Structure formats: structure tokens, C-alpha cells
Structure 1
Amino acid sequence: MGLSRKIFLFSTLLVIADSAPPTCYSAVVRLSKGITESLGRLETFSITKRCLANLPKLYINVHNSCVTIKLRDHLYALENLITPQCRELKRIEFLKVRVKRLYNMIDRLCYRDLVFFIDDCAALERPPPPPEPQDELLE
């Protein structure tokens, strides 16, 4: 067996060994980060910014026990936007689908996998504090 073939097989085994199937918790965290990023991007566009102006602020923290209540309220607000033009925007529709998916994952599918450390509903309406400098070094 050639050296290049051995290196290829070894690197393939490393990739396979390093990859693990996503857990319910990791899927919830990934989806919540995606929704937060989408909300930030939608607030930069003039068309969607106008539509999101009436929505409550939402900063998702999956460790907060109020997250299901806030997601349900946000989903209700998205489904009942005042102007029909806002309801029909593809970006708003996509956001609505993602919020509904996250709500269902937290409320039904991953309910036993999540641990809630915080019980502060108001914390989901304000941005999280910036990370401490030593926390950035650990990552």
C-alpha cells in the first residue's frame, strides 16, 4: 500500500471518528443562533425593518425557562402582522417557519434534553452582555 493511500485512509478515519451525530440540544442551539442572526439581518433591510418594528424584541437563550412563552408570543405576532405585505414577504415567512420549528423542538421533541438555568423572562427582550475577555481565550 502506498504512503499516499495510507494517509488518505487515516485522514478519512479521523473525519469519521471526529464527527458525532447532532443531539437534540445541539440542534436547538444551532437553530436559535440562526434565528437570532436572521432577526439581526432582517432589521438591516428597509422593507423588513418596517415589518419587524411592531414585533417584540427577542434574544433567544435556550437555558431560560421563559423561552417557550416568548417564542409562542413571537410566533403569534409574526402570524398576525398588521400589513398583508409584511405577512407575504418570503423572508418573514422563512423566519416564521424557523421560529415554529424551534418552538416545537423545545416544547415537544427536546423537552427532556434541555436544562433551564435561568427564570427571567425580561432577559429575553434585552441583548446579552458582551463576553468577558477571559471567556474568549477559552474558546
Structure 2
Amino acid sequence: MRLTLLLCFFSFIWLADCAPPTCYSRVLGLSKEIMGLLEKLYNYHRTKTCVEILPKMFLDVQNSCINTKLSDFLYVMENLPTQYCRERPRIVLLKRKVTNLYRIINRICYRDLVYFTDDCEAIETGQSTPHYREDRLQLLVEEKR
């Protein structure tokens, strides 16, 4: 009896994990993979010199500037200065993942993603500056007085 209950419990957990990913979850997961891979490339001695010319990028899928940043990033990756850098397996993998992310955002998830910010500097620096609407800004000014 306990074995049957245990099997039913684990089969339920297995079935619950089989739900297909949404556009947002796929984009979020892929952006985390890219950021992890970028960090490894910056720290790995064989690829450190190759990725020095890549623009700094902190992916935020809710930032509307992500499309232009990914496009610029892909352009730089396609035009790496040496053949050695273009053929490194980890760099090829990074290029493939960034291309997939760009395609998913612009073709598959078009109009499904909601952008909450348009702070292009945050994608380059990793630090978002708060933008207040006029009514919130007025309240902040009044509080300081």
C-alpha cells in the first residue's frame, strides 16, 4: 500500500514537471545561461583575450533595450578579429545561445513579453536607475520640503 502511494506521488511530481515552458520562462532561462557562460568566458584563460572586445552586457528581459543590445552583441561576435577566437567552442556556443535568444524574443515571443523599463544604460552597467513618473516625482519633491 505504501509503495503504491509512493509511486503515485512521484509520478504526480514527474507529470507536474512536464509542463511546456512559456515564452517568458524560456527567455529568462536562456538569458541566465548566457550570463553564466559569459562569466566563464571572462574568467577562462584561453578565451579571456577574445571576449575583452565584447561589449559588457547584463541581460534583463523586461528591458526594452534588450533587442538592440543583443543585435549589437551579435554583430561584434560575428566580427571577432581572429579566426582563433571565432572557432573557440565556448564562443561558438555563446553565439548560438545569443542568436537563439534574439530569435525567440523577436519572432516567437513577439508581443508576448512585457517591458517594464527602457533603461539602456542598465543593460551595459547592470545597475538600474529608478525613473519616476511625474506624479511620483512631485510627491518626492514635496516630501523633501
Shift of 1:8: 1.3
SS in 1 for 2:43: coil
The aligned residue for residue 108 of structure 1 is 107
Structure number with greater Rg is 2
Structure 1 residue ranges without an equivalent (≥5): 130-139
SS in 2 for 1:43: helix
Count of aligned pairs:
128
Q: How many angstroms apart in 2 are the aligned matches of 1:89 and 1:76?
A: 17
Shift of 1:128: 4.1
TM-score by length of 1: 0.86
Amino acid at match of 1:3: R
Confirm whether residue 29 of structure 1 aligns to residue 49 of structure 2.
no
RMSD after superposition: 1.5
The aligned residue for residue 63 of structure 1 is 62
SS in 2 for 1:82: coil
Q: How does 1:31-50 map to 2 (within 5 A)?
A: 31-50=30-49
Percent of residue pairs identical: 47
Distance 1:18 1:43, change over 3 A: closer
Q: How many angstroms apart in 1 are the aligned matches of 2:3 and 2:57?
A: 51
The aligned residue for residue 4 of structure 1 is 3
